[in-house]
Structure 1
Amino acid sequence: MTMDEIISFVDGLDGVLTMRPEPGDGSPEISWGDTFFHYAPDGVAPTATQPFATIVTKDYPGDEASRLDRAGTFRVNIAAGKEAFIRWTGHAPRDPATTEIDPGTTDTVIAHPVYGAVGWLAVVNPGERTEAATRELLHAAYHLARSRYERRAEATA
């Protein structure tokens, strides 16, 4: 699965705002080349919510365990929810893992090396083994983000 295939899949979901920071747009330089997915049916970047998924192409300070500095390496990060997290990892987000998986392992669904404690999953270079799972998890994260948006909209109406 390429980054472009992932971007096309998520961008095709109704109400998704795909942000791809680049030089000159006011975004921090470290984010250039990465992709952030928000549920924003009005097309306006939300300021009070996190993206429901991201694609990162490089190591960030404090997040080097996936070794994204390897050529052609990227990681999909997905806020798919507690149930999906438990199903894929075998433990609740804040509970310690019973088995350790190298965060740089490719084509494997893992707890996010930094944000796993809040329920994020990750896949480094999704491939044949994880393509269907990656799509399923992205779809689940999208639905959770959409539901949160709709609840907030109803509460303020």
Structure 2
Amino acid sequence: MTEDDITRHIIDSLGGGQFVVADDNTFFFHGADNKFPFATIVTKDDDFDSASKLNRLGVFRLNVGVGKETFRALFGEPDEASIANVDYAALDTLMPHPMYGKMHWVSVINPSSKTFEKVKPLLTEARSLAAARDKSK
């Protein structure tokens, strides 16, 4: 899967949202306020987030904000123990987000089509959670 494939899927399948590209990263939002993305595609390391080694040629990370129960079902409690032994640079592996795992974000670096099939319901959930948050405002 490419960044464009993923962006197309999110926009086409989860209609009603929008995306913003900033500094070569893509942020997907439910509403028009562009405040809290439900998913992102990040293409490079920065000072506070370099565990994924995104500065490798052609590497990007898809990040998705899921619900607490979904995160727990995938990885257990989002504590130090559950995230300590993760290889955050592994390709095509669903994992807790290296910085925001404690906030129930999941990540996958360069997902294959097969792995992306597993991510699709997580994107749907993330979009639904964002819609519910927007509605409750």
TM-score (norm 1): 0.80
Equivalent residue letter for 2:92: D
Equivalent residue letter for 1:67: K
* Corresponding position of 1:109: 94
Contact preservation (8 Å) 2:83, 2:96: no
Tell me the distance in 2 between the aligned counterparts of 1:118 and 1:124. 19
**Identity of aligned pairs, percent?**
37
Q: Which structure exhibits the higher relative contact order, with contacts defined as CA atoms closer than 8 Å and separated by 6 or more residues? A: 2
- Structure 1 stretches of at least 4 aligned residues deviating more than 6 Å after TM superposition: none
Contact preservation (8 Å) 1:17, 1:45: no
* Corresponding position of 1:3: 3
- Does 2:67 match 1:84? no
* Corresponding position of 2:48: 62
* Corresponding position of 2:135: 150
> Which consecutive unaligned segments of at least 5 residues does structure 1 have?
22-31, 153-157
The alignment of Structure 1 onto Structure 2 pairs a total of residues equal to 136
Larger fraction in helix? 2
Deviation at 1:38, TM superposition (A): 0.6
Tell me the distance in 2 between the aligned counterparts of 1:72 and 1:98. 25
Equivalent residue letter for 1:50: F
> Which consecutive unaligned segments of at least 5 residues does structure 2 have?
none
Q: How do residues 21-40 of structure 1 correspond to structure 2 at under 5 angstroms?
A: 21=22, 32-40=23-31
Tell me the distance in 1 between the aligned counterparts of 2:67 and 2:40. 15
* Corresponding position of 1:18: 19
| SS of 2:82 mapped into structure 1 | coil
What CA RMSD, in Å, does the superposition of the two structures yield over aligned residues?
1.6
Deviation at 1:33, TM superposition (A): 1.1
Tell me the distance in 1 between the aligned counterparts of 2:56 and 2:118. 23
Tell me the distance in 2 between the aligned counterparts of 1:111 and 1:14. 26
